[in-house]
Amino acid sequence: MLQAAVETIQRIPAAAPRVALVLGSGLGGFASEVEGARRIPYVDIPGWPRSTAVGHAGELVLGTVSGVPVAVLSGRVHLYEGYTAREVAFATRVMGKLGVRTMLFTNAAGGLNLSYAQGSLVLIRDHINLMGENPCLGPNDDSLGPRFFDMTDAYSAELRSRILAKARELEIPLHEGVYLGLKGPNFETPAEIRFFGRIGADLVGMSTVPEVLAATHMGMRCAAISCVTNLAAGISGEKLSHDEVLETGVRVRATFVRLLKAILPEAAA
Ligand code: HPA
């Protein structure tokens, strides 16, 4: 199934992507930044799962951004939609098979770290997988990667330091933190958030972890940036809503786009 998707994408006349950028909730508009864009609806790619979440389009956009040949994944699927971790990781694996060496993920997340505000951007330093899922479960596909694989540098320290330097240069505040991944679809309870804070989480969200696992399994380099769309449950005492998540995404969008455009060349280096 991976091969059929790869072949479909390779038939599109566009430069082979060096970097793939996965757009989280509300960031779909970034696809309009792609020069010489060739758009492929996900429905036209064999085996590619369709996003059902509001705020997620469903197309792959090939072209260049800041001179870098990219694949922009406008819309992703999540475990809470009922997809398996393997389905969630399908797109990442297709990117790996296409020859993409660096995956850049974005997502919306709830902030636990008290130094974050609504709208803060946070570079993920590491993750805690409490999804109870993993795209690498089952017989190992040796053509993808080894049975057991190391996660020490899953969020490349070298790439992170270049991204942080670029953010400083642009005077865009960029925090660093540990992302805790959950299946959702509910936002967490305040008691859960207190627990997650104690075990070292700075952020909580419902995506990215399966994709980073699949990418690291394949030996790809990853970086991920969260937009803190809301303070996590119980921190401000306010109720959480998806509308708030989308609204904050829209508010931060211009800054996020500026940062992403600046770091794409770093991700290609
Ligand atoms: N929790 C989980 N996922 C999220 C949140 C949250 O508070 N905000 C955006 N995605």
Give the pLDDT confidence score for residue 85 in this predicted structure: 97
Task: Check pocket membership of 225 for ligand 1, CB cut-off 6 A.
Answer: no
2-135+151-268 placed in CATH 3.90.1150.10 = no
Q: Whose CA is nearest to atom 2 of ligand 1?
A: 205
Task: Check pocket membership of 256 for ligand 1, CB cut-off 6 A.
Answer: no
Task: Check pocket membership of 113 for ligand 1, CB cut-off 6 A.
Answer: no
Query: Per-residue confidence of the chain (269 residues) as pLDDT tens digits?
Result: 899 999 999 999 888 999 999 998 777 778 889 999 999 999 999 999 987 766 556 899 999 998 999 999 998 999 999 999 999 999 999 999 999 999 999 999 999 999 999 999 999 999 999 999 999 999 999 999 999 999 999 999 999 999 999 999 999 999 999 999 999 999 999 999 999 999 999 999 999 999 999 999 999 999 999 999 999 999 988 888 888 888 888 889 899 999 999 999 999 98
Tell me whether residue 217 is one of the annotated catalytic residues: no
Strands 174-181 and 35-41: unpaired
In the set 109, 206, 223, 267, the catalytic residue is 206
Give the pLDDT confidence score for residue 129 in this predicted structure: 98
Domain residue extents for the chain: 2-135+151-268
| Dist CA 209 CA 131 (whole Å) | 8
In the set 129, 140, 156, 242, the catalytic residue is 242
Tell me whether residue 127 is one of the annotated catalytic residues: no
Tell me whether residue 80 is one of the annotated catalytic residues: yes
CA atoms within 13 A on the CB side of 181: 23
| Dist CA 114 CA 99 (whole Å) | 39
Amino acid at the residue 173: P
CA 127 to chain centre: 12
- Cβ-Cβ contacts under 8 Å for 135 (sequence gap 6 or more): 84, 85, 86, 88, 89, 93, 210, 213, 214, 217
| CA nearest to 8, candidates 37, 30, 40, 32 | 40
**Minimum-distance ligand 1 atom for the alpha carbon of 206:** 3
List, for residues 77-132, the tens digit of each pLDDT value: 999 999 999 999 999 999 999 999 999 999 999 999 999 999 999 999 999 999 99
3-state helix, strand, coil split of the chain in percent (to 5) is: 35, 25, 40
Tell me whether residue 113 is one of the annotated catalytic residues: no
Tell me whether residue 108 is one of the annotated catalytic residues: yes
CA 263 to ligand 1 center in whole angstroms: 25
Task: Check pocket membership of 116 for ligand 1, CB cut-off 6 A.
Answer: no
Task: Check pocket membership of 209 for ligand 1, CB cut-off 6 A.
Answer: no
Tell me whether residue 140 is one of the annotated catalytic residues: no
Give the pLDDT confidence score for residue 53 in this predicted structure: 64
DSSP states along 98-138: HT--EEEEEEEEEE-STT--TT-EEEEEEEEE-SS--TT-S
Task: Check pocket membership of 214 for ligand 1, CB cut-off 6 A.
Answer: no
Q: How many residues does the chain have?
A: 269
Task: Check pocket membership of 205 for ligand 1, CB cut-off 6 A.
Answer: yes
CA 230 to ligand 1 center in whole angstroms: 7
CA 74 to ligand 1 center in whole angstroms: 19
